[in-house]
Structure 1
């Protein structure tokens, strides 16, 4: 694949990629419910708007709603926004939750190797938060479940996926 030369002759800047108003690369292609790109012009699902300011409680509720709807990729986008905006002391927590959702995404897409790798990373990132259970997140259950699933050779999204917050009804 050849790269186009950007404005001003910068060979490192591609001009054949979708960009946002700030010039950051953004893929504007529509996506399916699992976040896979569809051809331009195809009808995709509504994507999560990036950079939406949410409280941790709002982000967790929205991510859970998306997980319950079978849209783990979109839940990951909500959790990733929190990871990027979180104070340094919480970034690993939000990164672990985003990795958890991406692990579920890979599983739903049939990629057990990718799912296992991301769920293992999620378990590792979440483990330090198990004692404090910030924002009512059931960190112990999430980390345990993710670690167990990461070792299975052919995991697929199952109805026993734990909920993000303690005390929430099961799916």
Structure 2
């Protein structure tokens, strides 16, 4: 099991790919980068935050939906990064977080599995992390960003629909993520399919 650092960007970076001006994906909205970019540096802070191994990590506190707060603020507790979980543990923990209305935290759990899974599973976990990021944007009221990320997730899950691994409800998630109302749904909601197992 190799660890993946930058295969398509971390899921938190997917949150940053949304244009601050229009709410759409920066690659598709047509705004110049300086118009759509979210500033990366904070006055008085030299460069990016780094973990003890020197990897870039955003150390800013975040609210319950993952929005950055000013340094020194008390934010919602973050999910610990780099936790090795089985597929079943990952799905159960991510579902608990979705049920608690914490899709940003669920994406962090799914991202850990994506980074630490065997090569043949990575596309599945990446798509599920994108799904949680789409739900995060929906909860934040960003319907354009939510629709874009949910569509990406549905596309990423397509190769797994015929033979869904780990009991993931690939067909249900893809069907729901393609509906216009998905982009305005806030979890928890009985409308949102569970990641795996029997429907609610």
Task: Give the TM-score normalised by the residue count of structure 1.
Answer: 0.84
The corresponding residue for 2:76 is: 45
Gaps of 5+ in 2: 1-38
Counterpart CA distance in 2 for 1:2 and 1:116 is 24
Aligned to 1:78: 109
Distance change >3 Å, CA 51–CA 114, structure 1 → 2: same
Q: 1: distance between equivalents of 2:137 and 2:182?
A: 13
In structure 2, what is the Cα distance between the partners aligned to 1:49 and 1:103? Answer: 21
Cα distance in 2 for partners of 1:143, 1:28 equals 33
Higher relative contact order (CA 8 A, sep 6+): 2
Q: Distance in 2 between matches of 1:144 and 1:93?
A: 16
1:112·1:156 contact (CA, 8 Å) conserved in 2?
no
Contact preservation (8 Å) 2:134, 2:183: no
> Which is greater in Rg?
1
Distance 1:2 1:57, change over 3 A: closer
Aligned ranges for residues 13-32 of structure 1 at < 5 Å?
15-32=46-63
Structure 1, unmatched stretches of 5+, are 4-13
Q: Establish whether residue 155 from structure 1 lines up as the match of residue 187 from structure 2.
A: no
- Quick check: 1:116 aligned with 2:153? no
8 A contact 1:63–1:78 mirrored in 2 = yes
Q: Distance in 2 between matches of 1:64 and 1:55?
A: 14
- How many residues matched? 157
Q: Out of 60, 67, 81, which is 2:98 matched to?
A: 67
- TM-score, normalised via structure 2 length: 0.73
8 Å CA contact 1:17, 1:27 repeated in 2: yes
Residue 116 and residue 154 in structure 1: after superposition, are their counterparts in 2 closer, same or farther (change >3 A)? closer
Indicate yes or no: 2:164 matched with 1:167. no
